[in-house]
Copies of this chain bind each other. A is one copy, B any other.
Amino acid sequence: MSYQRLHQQLHFIFEIDKLKTIVRQSSLFKSDRRENDAEHSWHLAMMALVLTEHADHSIDVARVLKMVLIHDLVEIDAGDIFLFDTQKDHNNTEKEMLAAQRIFRLLPKDQATEFINLWIEFEEGETNDARFAKAIDRLHPALQNLSNNGGTWAKFEIDLATVLDKLQPIKKGSVTLWEYVENQIKKLPKDLT
């Protein structure tokens, strides 16, 4: 057989190892050790599996898993942008699109196209699957901050209204998860947000 497809796939698998070196602002639960994008992506996949029943709309868990597993790969080239960074546009920037093209196109064409489309769907956040994936992606660092006495919210002195505003994607995917996290945030001491 031809190993051409396999070689392309292994090249991709090798390249995405770099996700483990992209460090996020958020720390592990009850810890000051900041986590990397690969750890974050694994945790999102576990959350998507365990919290499926709280999605407000019918979802395809396998597609949500794929989305959360690949959603941060563009950061290998484009870097992690902190959610509360006011200097940079966190939306689908040209830099991220170029990264998606470079990284996913290491794969055979059919797989590259599937992943690029899935990544765009996640970024746009309009389908049921993307809404739930985005809800989980916002919920994870919120839970980490809650366990760390406000975490990055406290560290960067983000006010309560801004925190709740930035977490709105949770509400778009799951009212239950939103109500839970909103209640928990409002219980934090006033000086933490």
Q: Which residues of A come within 8 Å of B, CB atoms? A: 1, 3, 5-6, 9-10, 12-14, 16-17, 19-21, 28-29, 35-36, 38-39, 41-43, 45-47, 49-51, 53-54, 61-62, 65-66, 69-70, 107, 111, 143, 147, 176-177, 180
Contact = CB atoms under 8 A, between A and B. Distances in A.
Contacts of A21: 28
Given A21-B28, A46-B69, 20 more contacts: A6-B51, A6-B54, A6-B180, A9-B50, A9-B51, A13-B51, A14-B143, A14-B147, A17-B28, A20-B28, A20-B39, A38-B39, A41-B42, A42-B42, A42-B45, A45-B65, A46-B70, A49-B69, A50-B111, A61-B62
Nearest to A73: B46
A120 B1 CA distance: 34
Considering the complex of A and B, which 9 residue pairs feature the smallest CB-CB distances, nearest first?
A42-B42, A62-B62, A17-B29, A38-B39, A38-B42, A20-B39, A9-B50, A41-B42, A45-B69
Contact of A65 (B36, B62, B143): B62
Contacts of A51: 6, 9, 13
| This chain's copy number in the assembly | 2
A50 B17 contact: no
A176 B50 contact: no
Contacts of A49: 66, 69
A47 B16 CA distance: 10
Contacts of A107: 50
Contact of A50 (B13, B39, B143): B13
